[in-house]
Structure 1
Amino acid sequence: MQSNDPSRATPPSGSGSISRVLVVDDSRLQRRILAGSLKKWGFEVIEADSGDAALHICRVAAPDLVLSDWMMPGMDGIEFCREFRQMDRADYGYFILLTSKSDKMEIAQGLDAGADDFLTKPVNPGELRARISAGDRIIAMQRELSDKNQMIGHTLQRLQAAYDAIDRDLVQAKKIQQSMVPELSRDFGASKVSLLLKPCGHIGGDLVGMFSARPGQVGFYSIDVSGHGITSAMMTARLGGYLSPVYFDQNLALVAGNDGHDLRAPTDLAKLLNERQLADTGIDEYFTMIYATVNLATGVVQMVQAGHPYPMIIRPDGGVEFVGQGGLPIGLMAGAEFTQSEFRMHPGERLLLYSDGFTECSLAAGGMLEAEGLADLVRCCQPGQSGQEFLDDLYWNLTEIMAPGQGMEDDISATLFEFNGL
């Protein structure tokens, strides 16, 4: 074997994507003929007289192009081509088989082994140059694609790192949002308020809550901020501060008196929140709300409905009735007027406030749940259930009829007030 030292070779300038060529042939004469043409064209040429010797060279300095004879003693061109394709290398190597074969099955055998092209011996210099030019274009495209893939890979790594950071932030944001609902169920004398909050993502735009500043009075609400995601969650965090169950001086639903705090009239709260929402420039979000207050001694409920779905009274015998007078969402119109509803509840009755995540849920049977469908779900709940157990069963019943594979499209929340007097 006679070969150049591949470790000292330097590619000629201006030679395109192919600069180093390995010529493999057991005939010294054939190698010299091919090498002579290649060197005149400016290529760096390495010679090998067998497949085994060629593999050794490829491991030291991978060539851009291989010109290999098909018929050689020991490892022939087909076997060498297969071994060449198994080698781990950074970029693609173009492989041309030199052969006197022209049978289609034999050509197919060469392609199956990994050859890119064929040249019939004796090799015509013009055809050889044309085949090398074709290979040069293919390698150039492959390397360009490889560079772009590498750049995409680096970009994806950076995006993954950014996603992981956002995901960690959202997990923490979820904990913060959950802290705004410190209690899911609380007794007020013989009566009880229970809450359900199921965001469709890490965080959501629904908010439920309850508070009582003095015995015999209780206020509770259900809020749904427009949109989804971080913006809506920030709005719910703000509203949670406005309706704090702990810091009564900050709670807009409470009015300070000489001997403590009293519940503000529901329509007054809606007007105050509407003014606050519209006073802040740059905020396009609005929200729907049901806010109700109850006198536990009389069972009288005063309620404002601001764009939220109609609440449902559940009778002890399983009957249901929708109550409310509708109204505009909060934050849409300056000077909006809100109507207050008033009705009396009797012991054993329950008042269910819920977001449109229930009624607008897509069903496996097609369409949406709607209000009447929710009433049917309520009737399907196990008899005797109350409080958190009732709400969990209601949510489970909903998941059983959701459109398969679609998951929750919107946040789902509910507030259940069970009246049994003081």
Structure 2
Amino acid sequence: MTQGNVVKTLHACVLALIGASATFLQLKQQSPFQTDYKTMVAFLIAVCIYVVTGLASTKFNGFAEEVTTKVSLLSGLLSPLLLFLIMVPALGWVCLVLWALLVVIIAYKKVSSRHLKPSQQDSQSQDHVAIQKTSPDRQEMERLTMEEENNEEQPQKRISMGSPATKWISVFDPSDKVTKQRYHFNVEDSRLSPKIEKGKEDGLFISSVASCSNLWALIMDDGTGFSDQVYDVSPFFLHEEWIKKQWAKDFYITAIAGAEDGSSLVVMSKGTKSFYQIYKVNDSFPFKWIKEKWEQGYFVTAMATSGSRWAIVVSKGAGFSEQFVEVDSKYPSELIRERWKSGCFITAAAATVDQAAFVLSVPRLEPANHEQETYRTSGFPAKKIEENWERNYYVTSICYGRTDS
């Protein structure tokens, strides 16, 4: 069960308790406002807080969403306990003590978690990336022209007969306003710094990264909402020590990529939605671990591969209500199309030479007139990116890997 479904179930239970206790209270011969005026006023205040914070939680993301949700549920639970106090004082006091202990436990866990930094030795580490969802356009999704197939903007990866086909996979989302976006590909380690610094001077931050043939690709734009950003190129996949140092400075991972030689590019930013993140590096795609994290209220927000290894980042406060993962030995066109029809959008993508994985999420706030498009191209999709800019469509995710059997 996802976090969104759990919250809905808890709200249903709270409303049932309030309704049942209010019904039994009517059996009293005297008006409770005459016999227990202060308790009834406290009950009405608790109900008001429950309603107001419950509505507010649907408008917020990240830390604010979690806080308002918990305040709403706790105040909602307090409401029937106050009525129990009127009907059965002994039971009511016991319940109030337990409720107070629950509040203390929740507050303690929240304070502790804000200072906890998971260790990669436990197969975990913090991270964060969020990409908006979209809806389907079948013709655009499948569009792959001969011009793209023969794109010479980047050296083509030669595929021998019978080998799996690897291509660039790019995901585009529309924007209501003109966004300044820039791309770089075939970038060596030594050339990253001048390109990134030039982008920063122009008000651009890195939104997506990828790797092909041990060279890097960058997407930078001015619509990320980030306030600051740092990056690290490391021979490790991933560089835990550097990541921990940035966590301590309130930076969170917003993009990751891995190269065939085992190196990685990690981008960490300030001004993100997420407030707590962990990651796992595994030799195979970690389905079970992702499912466990979903149950704990996390959502996948970034993925990367290095050789056959996978790095998966999950976050709290990503702004999603539900999420699905599709992994296949080729580009899962039909599966993605069906997910699009059900209101999901691609929010992360990564691929090895053997598998391609796509994370499809349901946003808490449905974007208006939002149709997502994906492309598969043999060369880096520079031409397609520029064509889509004319339509106010911008790259939100890019990766290189398996697309066909």
Q: Pick 1 or 2: higher relative contact order, CA cutoff 8 A, min separation 6.
A: 2
Q: Which has the larger Rg?
A: 1
Normalising by the smaller structure, the TM-score range is under 0.3
TM-score by length of 1: 0.26
